[in-house]
Structure formats: C-alpha cells, structure tokens
C-alpha cells in the first residue's frame, strides 16, 4: 500500500468485520523526535495467542474465501523499511491495539495520503460504529468523534451529510496540516545537528 490512509482503511475495515463497535485511530507527527506513529484500537473480538503469532504472515488470513491476508504484513513491512516497527496487542473478546512507528526523516517513510477521504468513507459507510479520529502534529491536536457528529446531523440528505462531514474534517485539520511537514532532507539535517550538539 502506497500511503498511510490505505493502511488505515484496510485495518479499520478488518476491525469492523471482527465485530468492533468502537474504533479509535490516532496519527501523530512529532518532528522533534523524528516520528510518525499510527495507533488503531478496537473493541472487536480480538485474537488468541496462536492467531497473533500468525497474523503477520501474508499467507494467513481469517477472511472466508481468501488465501492471503496482506494488511498487517504490509503495514509491518512499511514501518520496518522506514526504520520503525509494528506492535500488536490483542485479547479474545476484548479487542486489538495496533501500533506502527515510522522514522519521519527516512527516505522510505510513507506519505499520509488522503486521510480525510478515508475517515469520511469509514464514517459514512459505518454509521453504527463509533469512529474516533485523533490527529496530532507537534503537539497541535484535533479530535473527531463520529457519534457526536452523527447526533447533531440526523435526518439530513446523504449529500448534505457528506458535505458537513468533509467540512468538519477539513476545518479541524486545516491549521494543523497547513504548517508544512519538513522534508526528509530537512529532518536528517536537524537530527545530525542534534547529534553533533550532544
């Protein structure tokens, strides 16, 4: 998958297929510590120890009619290629936490992609699931809760719903994302300067 938003879409869809009624997505960009992190927490059926050991194998899947399950293995690969890691915590009947970490300055760090469209699609299609989206960039934060949003926008047309949802996400993220993320080269230079000053 070529960007983070596609990984989010795949993992959240898997969470919902696993019976999740609550999914929290947290993206953090921390330029000072050279980190991009993604956390996805759900209250789905969870995994036992045997499944947790197999889930990063691309030739293992729990989906009926499929022979491969590439979602988590590809996310793990993307994280590792960018000098990061993937961690997984899960308990049966409790839920799952997926944590992926990427080094921002690494040339293989994947782009965010169209996170707004991904969240928009997930909320629109899964209105029965409480989707909480949190975004942080250098300690500037935005939180969106789909149930709170839906509570104030019941009974409106689909086109109006999508317009209001898009406006809410765009206005919440505009200021945070408008402050430019440093390029990989700028981050490498900043890290080298920090190392030299120690």
pLDDT of residue 50: 87
pLDDT of residue 177: 77
Dist. CA 171–CA 4, nearest whole Å? 21
Grade residue 69 by pLDDT with cuts at 50, 70 and 90. Answer: very low
| C-beta atoms surrounding 82 within 10 Å | 21
The CATH number assigned to the domain holding 145 equals 3.30.565.10
Grade residue 155 by pLDDT with cuts at 50, 70 and 90. Answer: confident
Worst-scoring range by mean pLDDT, 56-65, 128-137, 168-177, 187-196?
A: 187-196
Cβ density class 33-64: b for 16+ within 10 Å, e for less: ebbbbbbbbbbbbbbeeeeeeebeeeeebeee
pLDDT of residue 64: 56
Residue 49 has pLDDT above 80, yes or no: yes
Helices (H), 133-180: 146-151, 158-178
Give residue 167's domain range: 4-196
Contact 94, 48 (CB under 8 A): no
Strand order in the sheet with 130-137: 85-91, 95-103, 35-42, 22-30, 130-137, 140-145
Q: What pTM did the predictor assign? A: 0.84
Share of the chain above pLDDT 90, in %: 63
Q: What's the total number of domains in the chain?
A: 1
Dist. CA 176–CA 124, nearest whole Å? 23
For residue 196, give the DSSP letter. H
């Amino acid at each position: 998958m070529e960007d983070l938003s596609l990984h989010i879409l795949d993992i959240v869809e898997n969470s919902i297929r696993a019976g999740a009624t609550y999914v929290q997505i947290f993206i953090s960009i921390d330029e000072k510590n050279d980190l991009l992190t993604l956390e996805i927490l759900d209250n789905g059926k969870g995994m036992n120890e045997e499944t947790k050991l197999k889930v990063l194998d691309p030739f293992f899947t729990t989906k009926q009619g499929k022979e491969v399950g590439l979602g988590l293995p590809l996310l793990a690969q993307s994280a590792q290629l960018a000098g990061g890691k993937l961690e997984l915590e899960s308990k049966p009947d409790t839920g799952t936490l997926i944590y992926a970490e990427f080094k921002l300055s690494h040339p293989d760090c994947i782009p965010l992609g169209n996170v707004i469209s991904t969240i928009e699609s997930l909320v629109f299609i899964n209105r029965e699931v409480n989707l909480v989206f949190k975004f942080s960039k250098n300690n500037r934060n935005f939180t969106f809760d789909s149930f709170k949003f839906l509570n104030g926008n019941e009974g409106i047309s689909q086109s109006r719903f999508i317009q209001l949802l898009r406006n809410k996400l765009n206005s919440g993220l505009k200021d945070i994302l408008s402050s430019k993320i440093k390029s990989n080269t700028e981050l490498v230079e900043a890290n080298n300067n920090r190392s030299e000053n120690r």
